Amino acid sequence: MTITVLVPNEEGRAALAEVDGVNPVRYEPGEPLEDHMREAQVLVPPFLAGPKVSEMFAELPRLRLIQLLSAGAENWTGLVPQGVALSTCRGAHGGATAEWVFATLLSIYRELEPFAADRARRVWDQHYTETLMDKRVLVVGAGDLGEQLRRRFEAFDAHATLVGTRARDGVHGVDELPGLLPVHEVTVLVVPLTSATRGMVDAKFLAAMPDGAVLVNAARGPVVRTEALLAELNAGRLRAALDVTDPEPLPEGHALWSAPNLVLTPHVGGSVTGGQVRAWRVAAAEIGRFAAGLQPGNLVDGEY
């Protein structure tokens, strides 16, 4: 039996062309579906899909799987029809986001921004800096990205501790955070945005971090309470690297633009060359499992 999969671009059609039991059909996002498309069992939304994609669901009575090209699924809360599974592209963007985490941490510890400012002023200020080596890093989120980070921290001679929803082999449970935060110089956030993680990094969470510690948010902006973080940054007690903010995009005049002790980038952690190729590679594997009667490996379950 062959299943029809709606894909939003030619890259998708090419990626699925060799998958057994799959007939990839290209559709134009925002345009009415043609009659032969309405029998599709799988829909792949565009990478930056808006809410209007959900309007297609009424035209797809046989829909059974929505396969995302993104690792995050928070924008789909409450939109997925009953009886339809939702699978993410976990594993496609983790390497790129891990690179961003290391780029920002190395920038902070090796003072790349201050040295760039010195260069602009023609100042030669030779001095010792901090190092990532031997740092104790708490990675909150134990999925694909968390594991990729742990492997890379080991290569930098840093010590990573993973935290997940529940304790398991090699992973601490989220209930252990109060005891873990004070003994780690870095806390990296790589959790999905859920009702449990929204606002989890509040004033109490930040107060438990030691003086001079670095908070790295590679997750989603609302995981962190912005005003609580601003208080710590302005006091000079903590440092931070943010690829995501709340609100986002960051509006003109927002306090984060001028906050001290902060490295800020505009949600580009996973925005690298080859990202679409890697995303379609994961999507093809997930859809292939579904076509074979197996459960996709990246189904959304609310854990991290």
Determine the 3-state secondary structure of 92 from DSSP: coil
Looking at the chain, list the stretches that DSSP marks H as alpha helix, in order from N- to C-terminal side: 10-16, 94-109, 112-120, 144-155, 177-180, 203-207, 226-235, 275-291
- Which residues carry out catalysis? 220, 248, 267
Strand 85-87's sheet: what is its strand order? 22-26, 3-7, 42-43, 65-67, 85-87
Backbone angles phi, psi at 221, to 5 degrees: -55, -50
Provide the residue type at 255 as one letter: A
Cα 272 versus chain centre, distance: 14
Distance CA 69, CA 257 (A): 30
Structure tokens belonging to residue 144: 């694909």
Distance of CA 284 to the CA centre of its chain: 20
Nearest to 79 by CA among 119, 114, 102, 49: 49
